[in-house]
Amino acid sequence: MKKNLVTAVLMTLVTTIILGLVYPLVVTGLAQVIFPDKANGQLIRNAEGTVIGSRLIGQPFTSPGYFRSRPSAAGANGYDASGSGGSNLGPTNPKLIDRVKADVEKLQAENPGQPVPIDLVTASGSGLDPHISPAAAEFQVPRVARERGMSEDELRQFIAAHTEGRQFGFLGEPRVNVLELNLDLDNRKHDR
């Protein structure tokens, strides 16, 4: 029995060192060498080098001159990476139904007569999705164009430039990264 106990303790120590320290350090080191941008969260920096966001994590945009992201149920105020997750409210839950109805009414007031894309009123499973559908971006064109003093056609060109296709040509749906689109629109203002 003593021999088995010693063997078990030694195996625990060895596997803890190998799998808990050595393996993570090797994988992290390789990731930093092979693709450092992805290993560090695909951070986006401004001209001064300050981190302003990540290509992988959504964030709220409330100004009318910006495209808005999907709603977020992550954390108390949304878009909290430490509280990532959905609301866990089922499709028949009155709280979810009331919130979605209120969001639809608000969006229809902003763009009367147009059907509201579902991703503008429902959160993703993580609550941190940085993308919206091209239809959701198109829905917001009149408001953003009016606020920025741009033509709708010019704005649609920006959307087209930021529309990513399906991964490998068949996985997922076409999508638009909201942060990158808004930053490009802000840079356009400075280029003029």
Considering the domain architecture, whether residues 45 and 130 belong to the same structural domain is answered as: yes
Average pLDDT rounded to a whole number, residues 83-103: 85
Average pLDDT, the chain: 88
Say yes or no to pLDDT of 190 above 70. no
Structural domain including 147 reads 41-191
% pLDDT > 90, the chain: 52
Considering the domain architecture, whether residues 98 and 181 belong to the same structural domain is answered as: yes
CA distance 129 to 55: 10
Considering the domain architecture, whether residues 17 and 104 belong to the same structural domain is answered as: no
Neighbours of 182 (CB within 10 A): 22
Residue 178, C-beta contacts closer than 8 angstroms, at least 6 positions apart: 58, 59, 61, 67, 68, 69, 130, 131, 132
Say yes or no to pLDDT of 40 above 80. yes
pLDDT reported for residue 191: 52
At CA 69, angle to CA 65 and CA 75, rounded to 5? 125
Tally of structural domains, the chain: 2
Asked if residues 176 and 137 have their Cβ atoms less than 8 Å apart, the reply is yes
Considering the domain architecture, whether residues 48 and 66 belong to the same structural domain is answered as: yes
Average pLDDT rounded to a whole number, residues 111-136: 88
Average pLDDT rounded to a whole number, residues 21-41: 90
Considering the domain architecture, whether residues 55 and 141 belong to the same structural domain is answered as: yes
- Residue 41's pLDDT band, with cuts at 50, 70 and 90, is confident
Query: Which tens digit of pLDDT belongs to each residue from 126-161?
Result: 778 899 999 999 999 999 999 999 999 999 999 999
Say yes or no to pLDDT of 182 above 80. yes
Say yes or no to pLDDT of 15 above 80. yes
Considering the domain architecture, whether residues 93 and 30 belong to the same structural domain is answered as: no
At 120, list the tokens. 């503008």
Phi, psi of 151, deg, nearest 5: -80, 150
Q: What is the pTM of this model?
A: 0.78
